Amino acid sequence: MQELSPLILAIHMEPSRLMRLAFTAAALKIRVLPVDQASWGQPLGALCGLQQKLGTPPSVKVEEEMLVMAFLDDAQLDQLLQALRDSGLAPIRLKAVLTPVNQKWNCGQLYAALRDEAAAMKAQKGAKA
């Protein structure tokens, strides 16, 4: 099996931030793939090259920028997250690492899951205060 190169899927990201992300990631030898709205219904695994793309993906809704990080080891992930903070791109609230489970999801499904997770974490922090 061929080794897959580190990749970031950039979803719903405005062009100026996308350029900064690409520049920041390139310094770490990580490729950035902008995902256009027409592709949001494709499975994440297909967008990362792990499976076939759907002929006509469903139309899905994403309202915030998201990053999906694929094929990074722990050290690369730590370096990337620090570089995002250093570059002023952080905070990007909705981030995920590609997993065997979420690679079957489309961008809309991931968006819903990340949004729900962020809301639950915010509620939990509020309960502790």
Tokens of 119: 């809301």
Residue 108: exposed, middle, or buried by beta-carbon count in 10 A (0-12, 13-18, 19+)?
middle
Note whether residue 55 is domain-resident: yes
Does residue 103 belong to any structural domain of this protein? yes
- Into how many domains does the chain fold? 1
Report angle CA 18, 95, 29 to the nearest 5 degrees: 55
| Residue 2 belongs to some domain of the structure | no
Across residues 41-62, what is the average pLDDT? Answer: 92
pLDDT at 129 over 70: no
Tens digit of each residue's pLDDT (9 = 90 or more) over 90-124: 788 899 999 999 999 999 999 999 999 988 888 88
Residue 69 in domain: yes
Q: pLDDT tens digit string along 1-47?
A: 456 899 999 999 999 999 999 999 999 999 999 999 999 999 999 99
> Does residue 92 sit within a domain?
yes
Question: Does 87 fall in a domain?
Answer: yes
pTM of the entire predicted model: 0.91
Residue 1: predicted pLDDT: 41
CA-to-CA distance for 58 and 108, rounded, in angstroms?
Answer: 10
Query: Domain range holding 30?
Result: 7-128
Domain contains 1: no
The pLDDT-based confidence of 54 (bands split at 50, 70, 90) is confident
The residue among 89, 112, 109 whose CA lies nearest residue 27 is 89
